[in-house]
Structure 1
Amino acid sequence: MWAWLASFLGGPVINGLISAYKARLDAAHTQDRIAADLAAKEIEAEIEARKRASAIIIAEQGRWYTAIIRPLLAAPVIIYFWKVIVWDKVLGLGSTDPLTGMIADWSGLIITAYVGGRSIEKVARIFRR
């Protein structure tokens, strides 16, 4: 999946953007042309970095049974939230007891990790620069 996503991002979408940007600057000054070339190289480097990152993720996850651990931990929480939101609240067809104790804490941590994990990575990348 990661390899497909990287090939999709690196394929016609980015190449189209680069060629459109270069065509716009064809009549411009040399400095603008240099900026366009640098922007194209930066985009290509970003695509290559994403490809490497996806390869690392695939290599670290290894087999399907090592990659499925996180989704299996999140599945009960997702099912619970869907049941509470859709079945109980939206459709009004039932009532579910609230989570209590350590299970409530764990559920909060799992949701925070899934939803906030990527945001934390982005903020950390900004501070690393």
Structure 2
Amino acid sequence: MSNDTKKTDAQWKEILTPEVYHVCRQKGTERPFSGQYTHNKEPGLYCCACCGQPLFNADAKYDSGSGWPSYFQAISEHAIRAETDLSHGMRRVEVLCSSCDAHLGHLFDDGPQPTGLRYCINSLALQLNPKPTA
């Protein structure tokens, strides 16, 4: 992590909204179908809400019907990292920002081709940077 993304818990709490802090720093989950990006179809880059690192291209977004924004691939293999999540009596793959360790959501193997993956991501963990228009 760079110095810009190395922050204490108190520093994150000071700069993030309570909702973003809960999802990204305390591994919370927003209610399904409540996020601002769930049905968004604008072009651009979805970046980490905490540090701004690009995570997903809007071209990889699809409607999974799950209630959260879903993507079939990350912008690069270095943008995110995965960890085993054994919380809530389940075994899942947690998706984190590789730059600041923000909790983004979870990864499942029930997505569309070409990858067969579904990155199920909280809207609160994202910030859309729209593609500039010509």
- What is the TM-score with the length of structure 1 in the denominator? 0.18
Q: Which structure has the bigger radius of gyration?
A: 1
Greater RCO, 1 or 2 (C-alpha within 8 Å, sep 6+): 2
Higher strand share goes to which structure? 2
